[in-house]
Amino acid sequence: MPEITVAETDVRRVRDQIVDVREDEEVAEGTIPGAIHIPLGQLSARAGELDRERPVITVCRSGRRSAHAAEQLEAAGFDATTMGGGMLAWHAAGLPTS
């Protein structure tokens, strides 16, 4: 599965869709500004909420769940990738959360 860096995600977040696949209590701790929250268990049912014409970057806590999410979306016809290191790496880089 293609993986991009935190820095690249920060640049691309203005044009790509960021999908945070963590659970509600995890997202409550902060997410990438503008991210769409769809827990991994709901992704199949809610994929229709995403724009198929725009690339998708999936995010989770450490990168494992988001890799599965990106694979799922890619199989459904989306241009999907995952952010390596997840929100742990995002926080470590000192990037903003909402």
Task: Please list the pLDDT of the chain residue by residue as tens digits (98 residues).
Answer: 779 999 999 999 999 999 999 999 999 999 999 999 999 999 999 999 999 999 999 999 999 999 999 999 999 999 999 999 999 999 999 999 99
Identify whether 60 is a catalytic site residue.
yes
Whole-prediction pTM: 0.96
CB 88 within 8 Å of CB 62 = yes
Q: Does domain 3-92 have CATH number 3.40.250.10?
A: yes
Give residue 1's pLDDT.
73
Give residue 39's pLDDT.
98
Q: From the candidates 60, 67, 73, 83, which is the catalytic residue?
A: 60
In the sheet where 17-20 sits, what is the strand order?
3-4, 80-83, 56-59, 17-20, 36-37
Question: Tokens for 14?
Answer: 């203005």
- The amino acid at 16: D
* DSSP-derived pairing of the beta strands 36-37 and 17-20: parallel
